[in-house]
Amino acid sequence: MRHTLVAALALSSACRFPELPPIETDAAPIDSAVDSAVVDATDDGALACTPNSITCEDEQNRYVECSSSGTVVREMECPLGCAKNAERCLDLNPSNGVAEYLDMAATRSDSISVTFTGSSTIFGDGQIAIEGAPQAVAFARLPDGTLVHMFRSLHVSAGATLRISGADPVIIVVDGPVEIDGLVSVFAGSGTSACPAPPVSSSAGPTPGAGGGGNASSGAPGGAAGNGSAGGTGGSASPDQDLTPLRGGCAGGDVTEGSITAIGGYGGGALQISSRTRISIRGFGAIDASGGGGGEAGFVGDVPTTPIGGPGGGAGGAILLEAPLVELRGNAVLSTKGGGGAAAGRGEAGWEGQRGGTTAAPAAGGFVTGQARGGNGAAPSGGSTAGGSGQSSVDDGGGGGGSGGWTRLHVHNSELAIEGTAQVLSDYTTAALGTRLVP
């Protein structure tokens, strides 16, 4: 599904996601006149500025404090121009209370300009590695566990993969531009255990399938067992479309039969990127916070020798991008699709559901000949689907598909561009960029 404020893109009538709402704005325009202007210094000793004045020059987006002797004591370029009703600058006020870390991104000595190449990773403990080599960087941990990274600028090279791992949400604040030409993969892993779809269990077969994880909508239910045992319910929907607080997708339900547990698909992770200048996702660049497939993580205990019910697919996670300019060009993709549920089975080929991924098609549920199949994950073409039911009295049920996640885009003065064949494979909303007065 594609929305654009720059070039109109086709919207299929079959799309389940809502029409792009108008950008909300409560920010005042910033082009007001300023009573006093900065006076340039001259060789004959003229004053550099008006004594005892504070001015913000709209045309130059420049803030100046002048001493009683007519010398400049403080001067700065305004990131978002001059404020309308005060002689001060407007600056980005990033979501989720991380303004102080955005300021540190411009001043800390360990805040670097980074280029991720090859296979790179941001680990859950805050460390990063670029092609296996550790790199010292500026980071902090918020009280709720959210990890905050600070950079001067950030680039993911074409062909590179940056994996963001760990259980907690990740916020990246950048003083300069963010350019993504490769893949950023945000996978929450087992950290979504706080909100999984309900598990399903039985002491002996047949076993129904478990439901898919929930996020932007409820996960799909699992299929019933052939003996009439009802399938597991899907995980609950989250109405938190503004992504404050930032939270990833929920896991699909596990299935336990006797001493063996088939693991539900993990939820997609949660990523916020806040830049003072721009975020550009170009070429084949992508951010993938989609849900994992049911059964992707295998089993706890022995691999079963007879079929059991399919675990549910994981829900898509969360992507929050905010900058004065956000642009998706070429074949760029943002994805929070749901993962497919697993088929009834014992871990054979085709049993597990597919991960959501960055293609427009739904992630398929698992399929094993003669067994109930898994439900599809949510995608732009439709919501997640229920797992198949067992056909005979000894048959198990398939796992339900995972819900899609949320994407939120914050821009300044409607500077959002989604062009070419770029796609947002997600439920998403837009809003005006949060601002604050500085200094």
Q: How is 44-67 classified by DSSP, letter by letter?
A: T---SS-TT-EEEETTTTEEEEE-
Q: Is the pTM of this model over 0.75?
A: yes
205-260 tens-digit pLDDT: 899 999 999 999 999 999 999 999 999 999 999 888 899 999 999 999 999 999 99
How far apart, in whole angstroms, are the C-alpha atoms of residue 92 and residue 272? 14
Q: Which residues of 167-180 are buried (b: 16+ CB within 10 A; e: fewer)?
A: bbbbbbbbbbbbbb
How far apart, in whole angstroms, are the C-alpha atoms of residue 295 and residue 429? 31
Domain ranges of the chain: 93-439
Residue 304 Cα to chain centre, angstroms: 35
- What pLDDT, on a 0 to 100 scale, did the predictor assign at position 303? 87
Distant-in-sequence, close-in-space partners of 164: CB < 8 Å, separation ≥ 6: 121, 122, 170, 184, 185, 186, 187, 269, 271
- What pLDDT, on a 0 to 100 scale, did the predictor assign at position 7? 31
Stated as kind and residue range, the H or E segment containing 78 is: none
244-253 tens-digit pLDDT: 999 999 999 9
Tell me which residue has tokens 């398939």: 398
How far apart, in whole angstroms, are the C-alpha atoms of residue 79 and residue 325? 12
- What pLDDT, on a 0 to 100 scale, did the predictor assign at position 52? 94
- What pLDDT, on a 0 to 100 scale, did the predictor assign at position 3? 36
Distant-in-sequence, close-in-space partners of 313: CB < 8 Å, separation ≥ 6: 212, 213, 219, 252, 264, 265, 291, 292, 293, 294, 338, 339, 340, 341, 342, 353, 363, 365, 374, 375, 377, 384, 399, 400, 401, 402
pLDDT at 183 over 80: yes
On the CB side of 341, how many CA atoms lie within 13 Å of its CA? 47
> Which class for 418: exposed (0-12), middle (13-18), buried (19 or more C-beta within 10 A)?
buried
- What pLDDT, on a 0 to 100 scale, did the predictor assign at position 48? 80
First-to-last alpha carbon distance for the chain, in angstroms, is: 41
- What pLDDT, on a 0 to 100 scale, did the predictor assign at position 194? 61
Phi then psi for residue 334, to 5 deg, are: -115, 125
How far apart, in whole angstroms, are the C-alpha atoms of residue 220 and residue 341? 9
Residue type, 354: Q
In DSSP notation, 246-263 reads ---PPPPPPEEETTEEEP
How far apart, in whole angstroms, are the C-alpha atoms of residue 392 and residue 204? 16
Distant-in-sequence, close-in-space partners of 61: CB < 8 Å, separation ≥ 6: 77, 78, 81, 82, 89
Tokens, residue 240: 């938190």
Stated as kind and residue range, the H or E segment containing 99 is: helix 99-107
pLDDT confidence tier of residue 8, bands split at 50, 70 and 90: very low
Bond into 51 cis (ω within 30): no
Residue type, 197: A
Residue 24 Cα to chain centre, angstroms: 20
Alpha helices, DSSP H only, in 160-281?
A: none
Across the range 138-145, mean pLDDT stands at: 94
Contact 57, 37 (CB under 8 A): yes
Q: What is the mean pLDDT of the chain?
A: 88
- What pLDDT, on a 0 to 100 scale, did the predictor assign at position 357? 96
Contact 371, 342 (CB under 8 A): no
Across the range 408-425, mean pLDDT stands at: 92
Contact 239, 407 (CB under 8 A): no
Contact 387, 396 (CB under 8 A): no
